[in-house]
Each structure stands twice: as structure tokens, then as C-alpha cells.
């Protein structure tokens, strides 16, 4: 599904990511973990096209997507959520998701028909499935943090992705919100047969849903495997899990 | 769903009543308001809808004025054809300049729009053979609109009234088209760029391409407005594209309310009327105007339409006894 081959990214002399490879199989739930500054965000931004790797290649379903623009990668079947909540804050919940449908299904070249007529049913179905239908008239930016994260997931799902990248999906959430978000993610991934790749700092979250974990440290991948393997890895225990 | 009021039709009908007051002065003011309204509404496709602050919108206003004026004066091209050219030429220029501008963001975008506008202004100011340089082009022929007087019920109006009728119909037509564009899927995706360009690109919006399209469309309609203004003014001058004109359209749009489709029209009415009223009382009118604008901007951060909207909501709230809508 997603095949990352030996990518490296340097920022004015500082190597943020160095020769990292990772393969994610179809319908797998994979996580990238690592301490702050380990290069997780840089690694993620290269996959989504927001940064171009200095070397290495990224393939999605066999197609080389290294360094192509985000809107094209989005069209190739990848959805993403961002670490800082990233929605259209002054549009309603409904308009947020509807806009994502308009964009993804190529209606942007229509200069004439009223936008509100398009994809009403699809938008309703999606909002119901992520539990935001009751709040459809709310302005996105004034909702609770957890609800905004849900909406962001909705934006990503509207592009009908096969692969979903989530950058810290539970960052800033309360324990209850985290628990609900994880259950929602698991359910959606199952229903839609999604492949998931996410970064996360909350170890409980990672070990509860990830089937495969890669550990980054100072820009390098130091371990990869099932949760049990990673937990047992001596180097991971030394530098990351520390007290185990 | 709220019930819809066909505002375009309402504004058209209201505007058409002005000549019946029989005042040459009212028609003069109303013509100016109609023409500049289109300029401001075209600008708001960039500012209010896409979130792009252009400091050079006057360039396209002026290019339209020169194109139509020269075609009508030098080549006797019929009015409507010359007007069409007055829209297409600036749209093409906006397409070329915009190609470079949308590569930059925020203040850098704004500065580049200003730079291109000043270049165009400097060329028109110097190029004596074509644009008349600092003398401009004068004696642009009035379009032949006598046939309007032959329409039953419209007999007995002056030439200026005829031109006003033509302007109102053309301007409202253009504003209607801009309204359709704003409400279309294309327009909706422009608002996602305004709200969050990074996220817009990751729902599949090619941000630069959309911005460029908006820039060219806005430039084209600004050109139509400029073309009408050149005829109304009986002359085209390089001043039309000098930077204060770009500042003026920005101020009118913000004053009226950039978050409302009709906001720029409200702002234009306010600006033109204030300008006329104050000029007749004092020679220090820029000072007075500046002070009034300052107060208005602080008092109504959402512009005139924002203030009206808030007022209307409060009234409605009181009527229903504070119940939720």
C-alpha cells in the first residue's frame, strides 16, 4: 500500500530524517512514535507532499508520489489530519464537509450552479457516521476541541481515502475524548477498510490499536515491529520507554 | 432554510427609479455609485471570498477604461463590443500578473499586486502616443442610447438618464454573474482558501490555480467598471490606476462589509455620498472623511452590512421574545 524507501530530509545542515524506510500493508494500522524532535512530523510531511525529501522515494500503491503537490497526493487516495486542528473555522460543519466533497470530486470548475445543491446526501451520511450530524449548523471554529478533531477526520474521509494519515489524532484531548476518538477511529477504519498510519505520543493509545509500530529517534528508525516486539526491544526501552 | 429575497432584482428596481426624481445631480451621483459598485464587488471576490488583499486592483479598472475609450474614440467600435474588450483585456493582464502574484502569500502577494499596478500606471502615464500620457484621453464619444427614449414609459429623459439606465442594467448583470460565481462550487472552494489554504490543498484544491482564476475574473469585472467610468467621466486618465484608487476600493469594501455580498455596494454608496457632501462644505474634506471612516471602522468592525445584520438579528430576537430561531 504505502512504501517509503530510505527517505532523508535536511534543513540547513540539520538532518531531521535520515534514511528511514517503512512499509504499511493494506488495512494495517501502523504508528510512528518517538520523543519530541525525533523527526515524526518531518517524516509525515514528506509522505503528504508538504515537504520534498532530499533523497529516497515514496510509493502509494506502486505509484511514485515523491515530492508531488499535496492536492495531487490527496487525489491519489491519501487523506490526512493535522496535529494542530485544521478545519475551515468560519464555515458550518456541513459546509466544511460539503466543500471537501466538491473539491475531491472535481466540481471546482463549475462557476455557475449553486454549490449548496451538491453532495447533500453524501455529506449527511458522513456527518452521521462521525457523529456530527446534530451539530451540522454549528460554526466549525467555535466547537469543542474534540468535535473539531472529529470534523477534521470528516474532511479527510470525504476524499474517500484508502490510506489515512493522522498526525497526533488525540493531542490535547481529555482522557474521555481520547477514548471516544480512538473508538471512532477503529470503527471508521473497519467500516471503510482503511489503512491507517499515525503518529502519537500517548503510549496507551499506540499500544491499544496499532498492529505495527516504528520508532524514530534523532531522525533514524531504531526499531520496528509488533507492539510486543517494540515493547521488548532493549534500545527502545533504554531511550524511549525509559522506566520499563 | 431561510426564505430567499431576490436582492439582485430588488436593487435593480430601486436603482431604476432614480431618474424619476428628475434631478440631474441625483442621476449623476447614482451613475457614479452604480459604476463604482461593480468595481468594489469585483474586488470583494478577492478580499471577502478568497482572502486575498490586492493593493493593485485599480490597474485593471484603468486598463478597461483605456481599452474601451480608445476603441470607441479611435476605431469607432460599437459600445457593447468595446465594453466586452474592456473586460477581456484587463482579465488577460490579470491572468499574466496574477500568475506571478499567487506564487507569493499574504503581504508579499499584496506588494507584488501593487508593484504591477504601479508599472502599468507608469507606462500609461508616459506613453504619449497611445494613452495621451499625463493629458489622458478626452472626448470619448457617448454611446448611442437614444433608443432607450423610444421604450414606452421612458420618453422625456435626458441623455445622462439614458446612460444611467444602461449602466444600471449592465452593472446589475455583472454583479448577478459575480453572485453566481461566488455561490458556485468554485466560489465555495475559494472560501476554503480564505479560511485555511493549507487544509484546502489537502481536500484537493489546487490553491494557486483557484487564486489565479479569481484574480483574472475580478480583474475582468473591474475592467468593465473602469470602461463605464471612462465614458461617464468623458475621459480616461492615468490617475484611474494610481495607487490611491486601489486604496479607495479596499476602503469601500471594508466599510460596507467584506463578509457580505452586497457589503461593497453599501460601502460605495456611503463613500460617494460622503465625498460629495463633505466636499461641498469644506476644503479639508480628506481630513473629515478620514475621521468619519476611522470612527465607522471602529464602531462597525463588520462594516455597514455587519451593523445592519446585527441590528436585524436583535429586532427579530425581541419579536420572538428571545426564543431560539
The residue of chain A with its CA nearest to that of B177 is A112
Instruction: Give the contacts of B37 (CB within 8 A, at least 6 positions apart).
Output: B171, B175, B264, B265, B268, B269
Contacts of B261 in chain A (CB under 8 A): none
The residue of chain B with its CA nearest to that of A140 is B195
Interchain contact B8–A (C-beta under 8 A): no
Q: How far is A154 from chain B (nearest CA, A)?
A: 11
B287, B280 contact by CB (below 8 A): no
Contacts of B198 in chain A (CB under 8 A): 50, 82, 86
Interchain contact B181–A (C-beta under 8 A): yes
B3 — pLDDT class (breaks 50, 70, 90): low
Interchain contact B261–A (C-beta under 8 A): no
**pLDDT top residue among B210 and B105:** B210
The pLDDT value recorded for residue B324 is 38
**pLDDT of residue B193 exceeding 90:** yes
Interchain contact B33–A (C-beta under 8 A): no
Interchain contact B191–A (C-beta under 8 A): yes
Closest CB from A71, A102, A159 relative to B188? A102
Specify the range with the lowest mean pLDDT, choosing from A21-35, B141-155, B267-281: B141-155
Architecture of domain A2-241: 3-Layer(aba) Sandwich (3.40)
Contacts of B185 in chain A (CB under 8 A): 102, 107-108, 110, 113, 115, 118
The pLDDT value recorded for residue B325 is 35
Interchain contact B186–A (C-beta under 8 A): yes
Name the average pLDDT for chain B: 90
**pLDDT top residue among A40 and B82:** B82
The residue of chain A with its CA nearest to that of B190 is A108
Interchain contact B158–A (C-beta under 8 A): no
The residue of chain A with its CA nearest to that of B197 is A88
Interchain contact A91–B (C-beta under 8 A): yes
- pLDDT digit string (tens) for B112-126? 999 999 999 999 999
**pLDDT top residue among B153 and B307:** B307
Interchain contact B103–A (C-beta under 8 A): no
Cβ distance of A91 and B191 shorter than 8 Å:
yes
- Give long-range contacts, CB 8 A cutoff, 24+ apart: B12-15: B12/B168, B12/B169, B12/B172, B15/B168, B15/B172
**pLDDT of residue B9 exceeding 50:** yes
The pLDDT value recorded for residue B296 is 82
Closest CA to B179 of B100, B265, B117, B239: B265
Cβ distance of A99 and B203 shorter than 8 Å:
yes
Q: How far is B205 from chain A (nearest CA, A)?
A: 6
**Domains of chain A, residue spans:** 2-241
* C-alpha cell read off for B231: 465614458
- pLDDT digit string (tens) for B57-66? 999 999 999 9
The residue of chain A with its CA nearest to that of B1 is A137
Cβ distance of B203 and A75 shorter than 8 Å:
no
Contacts of A113 in chain B (CB under 8 A): 184-185
Specify the range with the lowest mean pLDDT, choosing from A50-54, B12-16, B252-256, B320-324: B320-324
The CB-side HSE value for A181 (13 A sphere, CA atoms) comes to: 26
* C-alpha cell read off for B8: 439582485
The pLDDT value recorded for residue B323 is 38
The list of chain A residues with pLDDT below 70 reads: 240-244
Instruction: Give the contacts of B217 (CB within 8 A, at least 6 positions apart).
Output: B42, B45, B91, B178, B181
Cβ distance of A74 and B203 shorter than 8 Å:
yes
Closest CB from B186, B201, B207 relative to A111? B186
Specify the range with the lowest mean pLDDT, choosing from A111-115, B3-7, B136-140, B294-298: B3-7
**pLDDT of residue B223 exceeding 80:** yes
Interchain contact B117–A (C-beta under 8 A): no
Three-class SS of chain A? CEEEEEEEEEECCEEEEEEEEEEECCCCEEEEECCCCCCHHHHHHHHCCCCCCCEEEEEECCEECCCCCHHHHHHCCEEEECCCCCCCCCCEHHHHHHHHHHHHCCHHHCCCCCHHHCCHHHHHHHHHHCCCHHHCCCEHHHCCHHHHHHHHHHHHHHCCCCEEEEECCCCCCCHHHHHHHHHHHHHHHHHCCCEEEEECCCHHHHHHHCCEEEEEECCEEEEEECHHHHHHCHHHHHHHHCCC
- pLDDT digit string (tens) for B32-56? 999 999 999 999 999 999 999 999 9
Contacts of A116 in chain B (CB under 8 A): 183
Amino acid at each position: 500500500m504505502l512504501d517509503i524507501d530510505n527517505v532523508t530530509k535536511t534543513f540547513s545542515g540539520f538532518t531531521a530524517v535520515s534514511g528511514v524506510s517503512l512499509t504499511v500493508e493494506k488495512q494495517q494500522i501502523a504508528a510512528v512514535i518517538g520523543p519530541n524532535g525525533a523527526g515524526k512530523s518531518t517524516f509525515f510531511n514528506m509522505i503528504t507532499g508538504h515537504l520534498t525529501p532530499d533523497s529516497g522515494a515514496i510509493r502509494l500503491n506502486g505509484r511514485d508520489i515523491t515530492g508531488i503537490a499535496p492536492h495531487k497526493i490527496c487525489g491519489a487516495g491519501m487523506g490526512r489530519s493535522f496535529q494542530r486542528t485544521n478545519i475551515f473555522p468560519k464555515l458550518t460543519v456541513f459546509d466544511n464537509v460539503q466543500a471537501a466533497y466538491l473539491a475531491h470530486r472535481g466540481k471546482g470548475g463549475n462557476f455557475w450552479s449553486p454549490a449548496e445543491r451538491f453532495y447533500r446526501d453524501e455529506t449527511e451520511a458522513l456527518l452521521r457516521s462521525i457523529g456530527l450530524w446534530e451539530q451540522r449548523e454549528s460554526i466549525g471554529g467555535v466547537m469543542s476541541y474534540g468535535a473539531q478533531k472529529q470534523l477534521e477526520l470528516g474532511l479527510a474521509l470525504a476524499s474517500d481515502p484508502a490510506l489515512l494519515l493522522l498526525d497526533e489524532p488525540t493531542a490535547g484531548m481529555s482522557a474521555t475524548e481520547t477514548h471516544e476518538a480512538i473508538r471512532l477511529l477503529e470503527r471508521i477504519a473497519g467500516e471503510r477498510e482503511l489503512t491507517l498510519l499515525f503518529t502519537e505520543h500517548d503510549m496507551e493509545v499506540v499500544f491499544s490499536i496499532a498492529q505495527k509500530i516504528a520508532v524514530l529517534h534523532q531522525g533514524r528508525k531504531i526499531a520496528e515491529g509488533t507492539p510486543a516486539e517494540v515493547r521488548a526491544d532493549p534500545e527502545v526501552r533504554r531511550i524511549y520507554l525509559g522506566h520499563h | 432554510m431561510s426564505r430567499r429575497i431576490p436582492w439582485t432584482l430588488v436593487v435593480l428596481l430601486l436603482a431604476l427609479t432614480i431618474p424619476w426624481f428628475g434631478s440631474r445631480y441625483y442621476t449623476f451621483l447614482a451613475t457614479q455609485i452604480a459604476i463604482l459598485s461593480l468595481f468594489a464587488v469585483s474586488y470583494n471576490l478577492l478580499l471577502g471570498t478568497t482572502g486575498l488583499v490586492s493593493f493593485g486592483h485599480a490597474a485593471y479598472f484603468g486598463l478597461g477604461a483605456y481599452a474601451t475609450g480608445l476603441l470607441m474614440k479611435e476605431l469607432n467600435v460599437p459600445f457593447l463590443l468595446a465594453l466586452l474588450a474592456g473586460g477581456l483585456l484587463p482579465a488577460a493582464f490579470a491572468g499574466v500578473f496574477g500568475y506571478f502574484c499567487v506564487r507569493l502569500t499574504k503581504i508579499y502577494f499584496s506588494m507584488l499586486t501593487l508593484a504591477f499596478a504601479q508599472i502599468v500606471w507608469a507606462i500609461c502615464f508616459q506613453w504619449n502616443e497611445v494613452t495621451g500620457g499625463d493629458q489622458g484621453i478626452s472626448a470619448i464619444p457617448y454611446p448611442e442610447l437614444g433608443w432607450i427614449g423610444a421604450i414606452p414609459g421612458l420618453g422625456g429623459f435626458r441623455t445622462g438618464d439614458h446612460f444611467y439606465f444602461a449602466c444600471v442594467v449592465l452593472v446589475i448583470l455583472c454583479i448577478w454573474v459575480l453572485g453566481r460565481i461566488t455561490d458556485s462550487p468554485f466560489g465555495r472552494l475559494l472560501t476554503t482558501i480564505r479560511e485555511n489554504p493549507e487544509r484546502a490543498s489537502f481536500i484537493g484544491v489546487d490553491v494557486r490555480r483557484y487564486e489565479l482564476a479569481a484574480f483574472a475574473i475580478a480583474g475582468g469585472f473591474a475592467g468593465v467598471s473602469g470602461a463605464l467610468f471612462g465614458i461617464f467621466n468623458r475621459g480616461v486618465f492615468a490617475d484611474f490606476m494610481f495607487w490611491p484608487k486601489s486604496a479607495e476600493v479596499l476602503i469601500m469594501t471594508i466599510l460596507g462589509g467584506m463578509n457580505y455580498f452586497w457589503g461593497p455596494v453599501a460601502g460605495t454608496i456611503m463613500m460617494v455620498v460622503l465625498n460629495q457632501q463633505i466636499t461641498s462644505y469644506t476644503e479639508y474634506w480628506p481630513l473629515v472623511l478620514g475621521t468619519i471612516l476611522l470612527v465607522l471602522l471602529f464602531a462597525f468592525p463588520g462594516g455597514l452590512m455587519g451593523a445592519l445584520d446585527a441590528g436585524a438579528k436583535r429586532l427579530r430576537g425581541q419579536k420572538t421574545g428571545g426564543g431560539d430561531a
